[in-house]
Amino acid sequence: MSIEIGHYALVLALCIAIALATLLPLGLLGKNAFCRHLTATSSLARPLASAMFILCLFASAMLIRAFLLSDFSALLVWQNSHSSKPMLYKFAAMWGNHEGSMLLWVLVLSLFAMLIAFFTKSQHAKQSPLTTLTLSIQSAICALFLAFTLFFSNPFARAYPVAADGMGLNPILQHPALAIHPPLLYLGYVGLSAAFSTTIAALILNNISNEWARATRFWTLLAWVFLAAGITLGAWWAYEELGWGGFWFWDPVENASLMPWLLATAALHALMSFIKTARIRAWAILLVLLAFSASMLGTFLVRSGILVSVHSFASDPLRGIVILLCVTIVTASALALFAWRKNTENSTNLKPFPLLSREGAQFINILLLSCCCALVMLATLYPLFFEFFTKRSIAIGPPYYTAVLTPFFLVIVTALGILPALGWRRSSRKQIIRHASIVAPIATGSGIAVFLVANYSASAAIAVAFGIWALIGAARTKGAPGVACAHAGIAILLIACASASLNDVEKFRTMRVGNTITLNKGTSSTKLELKNIFTKQGSNYNELGARFQLNSKNTLTPAIRTYIPSGIKTTEASINRTILRDIYVTIATLDERSSDSSTKNRDTISVRVRKKPLMFWVWAGAAITIFGGILSLIPRNLLKRRLQQ
């Protein structure tokens, strides 16, 4: 019964969405008193928007309840859950599949609709037509996705006859990071819709003003923070759980979440220097529109089955076509509107700015980030086109991406580093030279030091040199502390990613109990001794593990698990973390012959040991960047007051 109630709630939400989408524009067009009451913040719109969100929340709650109670008469629960699953993962299983995650999409869309209705600050903004039209467009998008969910991806279908137990969930997906990863990601991904709606509204009203810029910046920043957090969590899960030793694989689904983030970053920078130049104005608008479009396109790529990835959902061609149509309608209208308004705009207010200025640096940043996004999209889609036209397959992996994106990123980081010496609209040459003459030698010095010490690794040297250049530049950036913080985070991330991926050291050995493996000699050597090999029985798996002693201090226990109902094998890596490096140990079995390797008595084991320098700083850098974003969300005067106390 509860499933059906959830279903009806969703239908009701759809009706409200349609109502909001159609009634609110009346408030702008109509002349009589009633129409004038139809504003976004009116006593009509606010309750309606809240009701829409609450209904979606209720529907989600009903679905979650079905999962928690293991109600296998619900088709989704049967397909994605199992009675023996721990509670947290039953909860998270709600969004671990296509239909449930569409419900999550819709939930976040309606959440932002409600926020739009309530979160308008100034009195002027409350009565302005911009907010009203924004809410209307957000509701329209809600309606579109609600309709898609209800008609093509209904999470509330029933399964008949009722099975005794469910088909379970992939054990790899049972990890805390992955449980929170989708909601965070969606808050970012889907949250970009608010900025999108605001921009469409402003374009329709043909009124690109500071009010628009402030509102859009806020929504974009909010979504950006969540998106960054979601992406980081996903990478962390991949590192911890998959046992592959990496954290980013340039997989199509990963790229689908990275592209909106790149565009959102560019949009944020464009919005910050919005007031200064009309040209950056156009880019700001375009980037905000493209960011959400990238989210929607990403949804299509992931759910239609057109791209193969370890992350893809089960696909259905009809569903894919419908998603494609939705994406096309929304994005094409947005871009057409953009073209029309841009064309008929009279471009006055063209305040000039030289290249060596904050606007100049921002503009370079915007261009380069857009280039990076375009290249990622090209590389993600290329295999599709290639296989279609030549009938041969092609794989584009990390070597391509790093080779191609690094030059762009290095230029961005150079601009980042020189930022403190640049002024708005002009900069003093003297300041630039002074800054550069202090920082450049420091950066080069560190680079050379690393080059000599790290076995003449050019990549390490370059990464460190540019990273320190950017880091010092970020630390010296005056003005918004959030900006300095975020830039510092990115600089640290650069150094850490480069060293962890390109300078890791690896050894592969077959070992017996008592053998040791040494990765480095000298002061910080890493010595692993195999203490024993064991088998263990877990709640729903058999495990073959090995116990190692690291440098006679810590214990590492990598394992291979074979899950009982499904036979799925997972590699459980064991990681020893310090600020300087991670030691990552996995077991590899060559034996495909034994279907259940756990029951065999083994006296040798094949082991891979990896040392990844500065891996900790990948996570720290990401966290610092996200924190910088959060800092930027806090209104300036509030921060000033707090800091002065």
Partner 1 sequence: MLGKINAAQLVLVFLSATLLFPTQAFTQSDESQTDTDQRLQSLYRQVRCPVCPAQPISESEAPLSQILRQELAKKVKTGMTNKDAIEWLVERYGEEILLRPRFNSAMLLWLAPIACAAIAILALRTIINQAK
Partner 2 sequence: MRTSFIPIIAFVTIIGALGYIFISEPSNNANRDSIKSKIKSMPNFRIQALVETSSGSMGIMSDTTIRATGKPTVVNFFASWCQPCLAEHPLLMEMALNNQIQVFGIAWNDNSEAIQAWIAKHGNPFFLVGIDNESIAGIEWGIAGIPETFFLDKKGNVQFVHIGPLSRETMQNGLQAIKATTPENP
Distance CA 151, CA 627 (A): 40
User: Per rule CB under 8 A, is residue 248 in the interface with partner 1?
Assistant: no
Report the site for partner 1 in 368-407 (rule: CB under 8 A). Answer: 368, 370-371, 374-375, 378-379, 382, 386, 392-400, 403-404, 407
Q: Do 609 and 575 meet the contact criterion of CB atoms below 8 Å apart?
A: no
Cα-atom radius of gyration of the chain, to the nearest Å? Answer: 27
Residue 252: what residue type? P
CB of 270 to partner 1, least distance (A): 12
Q: How many residues make up the chain in this entry? A: 645
- Dihedral class, residue 361 (left if φ above 0, else alpha if ψ from -120 to 50, else beta): alpha
Report the site for partner 1 in 441-470 (rule: CB under 8 A). Answer: 442, 446, 449-450, 453-455, 457, 460, 464, 467-468
User: For 554, phi and psi rounded to 5 degrees?
Assistant: -95, 165
For partner 2, the binding residue among 214, 342, 527, 577 (CB under 8 A) is 342
User: Per rule CB under 8 A, is residue 340 in the interface with partner 1?
Assistant: no
Distance CA 291, CA 631 (A): 22
Question: By CB under 8 A, which span of 6-14, 83-91, 285-293, 498-506 interacts with partner 2?
Answer: 285-293
For partner 1, the binding residue among 480, 575, 620, 623 (CB under 8 A) is 480
For partner 1, the binding residue among 518, 537, 594, 599 (CB under 8 A) is 518
Residue 246 or residue 423: which is nearer to partner 1 going by CB? Answer: 246
Distance CA 215, CA 233 (A): 28
Question: By CB under 8 A, which span of 25-33, 167-175, 333-341, 417-425 interacts with partner 2?
Answer: 333-341
332, interface contact from partner 2, partner 1, none, CB < 5-8 Å by kind: partner 2
Residue 5 or residue 448: which is nearer to partner 1 going by CB? Answer: 448
Distance CA 141, CA 222 (A): 19
Nearest partner of 487 among 634, 643, 621, judged by Cα: 621
Nearest partner of 213 among 273, 137, 277, judged by Cα: 273
Report the site for partner 2 in 28-67 (rule: CB under 8 A). Answer: none
User: For 212, phi and psi rounded to 5 degrees?
Assistant: -60, -45
For partner 2, the binding residue among 111, 184, 286, 490 (CB under 8 A) is 286
Q: Do 362 and 269 meet the contact criterion of CB atoms below 8 Å apart?
A: yes
Nearest partner of 396 among 254, 260, 588, judged by Cα: 254
For partner 1, the binding residue among 186, 189, 363, 548 (CB under 8 A) is 363
User: Per rule CB under 8 A, is residue 423 in the interface with partner 1?
Assistant: no
What is the per-residue binding string for partner 1 in 566-585, x denoting contact by CB under 8 A? -----x-------xxx----
Residue 315 or residue 535: which is nearer to partner 2 going by CB? Answer: 315
User: Per rule CB under 8 A, is residue 367 in the interface with partner 2?
Assistant: no
Facing residues of 588 across strands?
A: 606
- Strand 581-588: give its sheet, edge to edge: 505-512, 604-613, 581-588, 574-577
Can you give the binding site for partner 2, defined by CB under 8 A? 282, 286, 290, 293, 300, 304-306, 308, 315, 317, 320-321, 324, 327-328, 331-332, 335-336, 338-339, 342-343, 381, 384-385, 387-388, 393, 592-593, 595
